[in-house]
Amino acid sequence: MADERALDEVVRFTSDLIRIDTTNRGGGDCRERPAAEYAAERLTEAGLEPLLLERTKGRTNVVARLAGTDPSADALLVHGHLDVVPAQAEDWSVHPFSGEVRDGVVWGRGAVDMKNMDAMILSVVRSWAREGVRPRRDLVIAFTADEEASAEDGSGFLADKHPGLFEGCTEGVSESGAFTFHDGAGRQIYPIAAGERGTGWLKLTARGRAGHGSKVNRSNAVTRLAAAVTRIGAHEWPLRLTPTVRAALTELAALYGVDGDLDDVDALLDKLGPAAALVESTVRNSANPTMLSAGYKVNVIPGEAVAFVDGRYLPGGEDEFRATMDELTGPDVQWEFHHREVALQAPLDSPTYARMRAAVEEFAPEGHVVPYCMSGGTDAKQFSRLGITGYGFTPLRLPEGFDYQAMFHGVDERVPVEALHFGVHVLDRFLRTA
């Protein structure tokens, strides 16, 4: 068990890290260095030898390795990002960079996304140093920059330029998983992430004949673009069940005592009530038009019109996604990837998944662990290029009524102290046995 001091430290570290403003506004506007130095100092005090790594000045990553007792075992990567999304202080009940602990809750940007996990990792490793604990597998600990933008200064840079630091790593754990999902009917579900949809941000370009707004024009770029955008927005994507989602649906159906007929998934989702939220965004690909741009004067038909679409595809779904986009855009509109990231699928029959599950069940015996697929993406996508299978595992026991999903990039982001303590115990147990 993690000691008392680890429980104190996890709160203090979460709070301290929140106070170090690492707002990532995109376009390179961020400075993680002070947070990276803070994390590196905490690791150094525990006898580790962390490296500070930068592609761009100030955009600092931290990597350290803790040698395991079994040199023949594969290494395990434990990672968390140091940057956060912006927060507007006037919208908040407490200042978003105060790290204030009020009534047993730590407040501030990064409290759940994901300075909490960074603090949990640091606390666990430091408690091991005090007790002389060594894990079985080598543990590679990475704190990354730039997760909230392109990852080019963070995990992407580490995977490209420093693959040797991850030598032997076959699996990784990081954000979004093993939190309490209350279904409103007394059930407590702990979803562990074993997959991520891929990212397909698209740029659509329609070209046509420019000309006077009063003349007949059958090749109007705006009309062509609007038609394509409408088709994309209205498209009903077919159901596609990946192994993770299939398992999630089957396990949830058993938990709810309902017919787990996967031939009628929409009916099954209805029967699951609020718990359907755990799977409904990951049973199909999706594509939402988000930006439009064309023209400069009301009586001038422009020769070009541009739109952007936020597309997401399931593991194994990219080919279908591309073919569908070809079809929906049609011959008059070109599309290209403005940004593309792979989809991930992690196995559920691995010893690592079983150990994550056992660690949660030990400290939350009332909970039901189910796998789930994330609808968006994390740094695990970049690390997958090194052959590292990613799971989402940031254990938090949350009280009923605490809207965890709303905390991500939301106003009044916060985390209960009790949730952090649970996280330290579960992470400690998992990492010791992993």
Measured from the CB of residue 175, what is the shortest distance to Zn ion in angstroms? 5
Give the contacts of 27 (CB within 8 A, at least 6 positions apart).
149
**Which residue lies nearer to Zn ion by CB, 80 or 302?**
80
CB 324 within 8 A of CB 141: no
Q: How far apart are CA 28 and CA 55, in angstroms?
A: 11
Q: What is the dihedral of CA 367, 368, 371, 375, to 10 degrees?
A: -60
Are 76 and 137 in contact, with CB atoms under 8 Å apart?
yes
Q: Locate tokens 């075992």: which residue? A: 73
- Chain-centroid distance of CA 131 in Å reads 32
Give min distance, CB of 312 to Zn ion, in A. 16
Q: Which two tokens stand for residue 70?
A: 């079994």
The catalytically annotated residue of 113, 118, 146, 147 is: 147
CB of 81 to Zn ion, least distance (A): 6
**Candidates 83, 138, 196, 341; catalytic one:** 83
Out of 48, 85, 114, 228, point to the residue binding Zn ion (CB under 5 A). 114
Span of 112-120, 234-242, 301-309, 389-397 interacting with Zn ion by CB under 5 A: 112-120
Query: Residue 337 burial by CB count (10 A; 0-12/13-18/19+): exposed, middle or buried?
Result: middle
Q: Considering only 25-33, 173-181, 345-353, 389-397, which stretch makes contact with Zn ion by CB under 5 A? A: 173-181
Using the rule CB under 5 A, give the single segment among 175-183, 205-213, 239-247, 388-396 that binds Zn ion. Answer: 175-183
Q: SS3 for 41?
A: helix
Q: What are residue 301's DSSP bridge partners?
A: 211
| CB contact burial 167-206 (16+ within 10 A = b; e otherwise) | eebbbbbbbbbbbbbbbeeebebbbbbbbbbbbbbbebbb
Could you tell me how many residues of this chain bind Zn ion (CB under 5 A)?
A: 3
**Strand pairing category for 198-207 and 304-313:** antiparallel
| Residue 35 makes contact with Zn ion by CB under 5 A | no
Please say whether the beta carbons of 18 and 108 come within 8 A: yes
Q: Closest distance between Zn ion and the C-beta of residue 377, in Å?
A: 10
Is 151 an interacting residue with respect to Zn ion (CB under 5 A)? Answer: no
By the rule CB under 5 A, 348 interacts with Zn ion: no
**413 scored as a contact of Zn ion (CB under 5 A):** no
CB of 337 to Zn ion, least distance (A): 23
Nearer to Zn ion, 211 or 376 (CB): 376
Residue nearer to Zn ion on the CB measure, 46 or 114:
114
Could you confirm whether 147 is annotated as catalytic?
yes
Does the footprint of Zn ion cover residue 113 (CB under 5 A)? yes
CB 404 within 8 A of CB 78: no
- Specify the 3-state DSSP secondary structure of 169: strand
Where does this chain touch Zn ion (CB under 5 A) — which range of 1-9, 109-117, 165-173, 213-221? 109-117
Q: Are 397 and 411 in contact (CB under 8 A)?
A: no
- Strands (E) in 314-376, as ranges, are 333-341, 344-345, 367-374
Residue among 149 and 241 whose Cβ is closer to Zn ion: 149
Task: Decide: is 87 part of the binding site for Zn ion (CB under 5 A).
Answer: no
- Rounded to a whole number of angstroms, the minimum distance from the CB of residue 330 to Zn ion is 37
Window of 111-119, 165-173, 187-195, 383-391 that interacts with Zn ion by CB under 5 A: 111-119
Active-site residue 196, yes or no? Answer: no
Q: How far apart are CA 95 and CA 18, in angstroms?
A: 10
- Least separation in angstroms between residue 394's CB and Zn ion is 9
Nearer to Zn ion, 149 or 229 (CB): 149
Contact mark string toward Zn ion, 279..318, x via CB under 5 A: ----------------------------------------
Active-site residue list: 83, 147
Binding site for Zn ion (CB under 5 A): 113-114, 175
